Structure 1
Amino acid sequence: MTAAAERPPGWRAPDLTLPDTHGTPVELASLRGGPCLVVFVPFAFSGTCTAELDALEADLPDLREAGVRVLGVSCDPVFALRAWREQRGYTFDLLSDFWPHGAAAHAFGVLDERTGAARRGSFLLDADGLVVWSVVNPAGVARDPGAHRAALRALRPSGSGSAHG
C-alpha cells in the first residue's frame, strides 16, 4: 500500500483521536464540516520546528479567515507540548502522538521509523475530511514559510479541491 504522504489528493484522512496539551481528546472526524490543517513536526523545542510553528502562528489570521482549524502534531508527550505552546504563545492546538507512539504519523505516512519522530508533513483537509493538499519534506528540510497560506488555493467554495504540493 502506498504511504498516505505519497497519495494524490482526494484520499480520506484517517479518523484519529489525540490528546491536546491538557490531555483533552481531539477527534479529527469531529472537525468535519470545515477545513482543517494537520501539521506534523518532529520535535518540540527544536530550532527548525519552532521556526516552522512560529511562521504558522503568523499565518493564522489568513487561515482562520478561510475557516481553517489548525492542528500541530508531534510524537512528544503532552507535557512537553504544553510547555512549548506556553513558551511560544501558540494559539492553535498542539496534539500529542506519543502513545501509541507515532500512530497518527504512521496513519498519515510520515512516521520516520528510524528516529521515532514524524517527518515534516502538512495535510489540508476539506470539510468532508478529504486531503486536498499536502507536502512532506525530507529530514532536515524545513517547509516553505508560505506553504500553508498558499495551500488555501486548494480549498474551493464547495469544500473540495485538487491541488497537491
Structure 2
Amino acid sequence: MAIDVGQPAPAFTLKDQDGTDVSLSDFAGEKAVALVFYPFTFTGVCEGELCELRDDIAEYEQAGVQVLAVSCDSRFSQKVWADQKGWTFPLLSDFWPHGAVAQAYGVFNEDLGCAIRATFLIGKDGVLVDTFATDSLGTAREKERYTAAIGKL
C-alpha cells in the first residue's frame, strides 16, 4: 500500500450516492474515519461486507468513527444499491477521474479497473492509524480486524 501507519492520509473529495461532496477534511478533529474500499457495486462479497458494517454501525458511532465506503462505480448505481440495502453511511464514487483516490491510497487494481478490498482507519488528526486488506477480491475482511483497528484509536 502507498501509505504507512503514522503518515497523513491523502486528502480527497468525492460525491456520495446522493451527489453530496464528502471530503476527508469534513471529519478533521471531529471523528476518525474508516475508509473502506470495495471492488464493485452489486456483487456478493461486497454486499456482505457492507451489510455487516450496516448491522454493526452503532459500534463505529460509539467509537467516534465515520464509515465511508468507496468504489470506482458511479454514484447512480451506488444510490440504487444503498437504497435497496438500507445503508446509512456514505458510498463514495471514485468514478472520475477513474480510481484517483484508490490510486492515491495505493489500492487500485489497474488490470481490473477497481479498488482492491482494503480498509484505512484514519484518526481525527488525519493520520493513518491502521490499514488492512485481503489477498483477493473474493475474500471478505473479517469483523475482528475492524475491531482491532478501532482499538488502536
TM-score (norm 1): 0.88
Question: Following superposition, which runs of at least 4 residues in structure 1 exceed 3 angstroms of deviation?
Answer: none
- Whether the 8 Å contact between 1:9 and 1:132 is mirrored in structure 2 is yes
Aligned partner of 1:18: which letter?
Answer: L
2-side partners of 1:149 and 1:59: how far apart? 11
| 1:99-126 CA distance string (max 9 Å, x none) | 0000010011100000000000101000
| 1:43-84 CA distance string (max 9 Å, x none) | 011000000111111221111001111100000000000011
Per the TM alignment, residue 94 of structure 1 is displaced from its structure 2 partner at its CA by: 0.5
Residues 15-164 of structure 1 correspond to what in structure 2 (within 5 A)?
15-33=11-29, 34-139=31-136, 140-155=138-153
Structure 2: which 5+ runs fail to align? none
Superposition RMSD in Å? 1.1
The count of corresponding residues between Structure 1 and Structure 2 is 151
Identity value in percent: 44
Per the TM alignment, residue 145 of structure 1 is displaced from its structure 2 partner at its CA by: 2.6
2-side partners of 1:18 and 1:141: how far apart? 26
2-side partners of 1:146 and 1:54: how far apart? 15
Distance 1:58 1:150, change over 3 A: farther
1-side partners of 2:38 and 2:7: how far apart? 21
2-side partners of 1:87 and 1:115: how far apart? 26
